[in-house]
Amino acid sequence: MKNFRTLFHIAEAARFEAAGRSGIYEPELYPLEGFIHCSFIEQVVPVANRLFKGQRNLVLLEFECAQLEAPVKLENLEGGEELFPHLYGVLPVSAISTVHEFDCDTHGEFSLPVALSR
């Protein structure tokens, strides 16, 4: 069974840095979608390579569900069978345990940061 305690979110570094001033992180599409897309550790790389291929200046936010006030729901809103965690609220910066550098390689592909590649 998936570890439902630890979640990850891929963020633009500049947007995350700006969140440090307010104490609240929300991605650009949050006001439109009403939730924050998250991943389990085994979903991070496939999601990154599908949605962020070749993008630079990203960070990978790591946080624990126990630190969140907003609910997390497991859903697939694209019609597939794989479930993804969605945070139905903003992400307090104080809930983030680790900010990992998350750069792609010269081919635009991502891999887990060394600290997470246990």
pTM of the full predicted structure?
Answer: 0.92
Please determine, for residue 3, whether its predicted confidence score (pLDDT) is greater than 70.
no
* pLDDT, position 36: 97
pLDDT confidence band for 101 (50 / 70 / 90): very high
- Number of structural domains in the chain: 1
Residue 15 in any domain: the answer is: yes
Query: Is residue 20 within 8 Å of residue 61, measured between CB atoms?
Result: no
For residues 30-58, average pLDDT: 96
Place of tokens 């001033």: 21
Residue 58, domain extent: 6-116
Does the structure show a pLDDT above 60 at 17?
yes
Give the CATH number, domain containing residue 74: 3.20.170.20
Would you put residue 34 in left (φ > 0), alpha (ψ -120 to 50) or beta? left
C-beta of residue 44 within 8 angstroms of C-beta of residue 62:
no
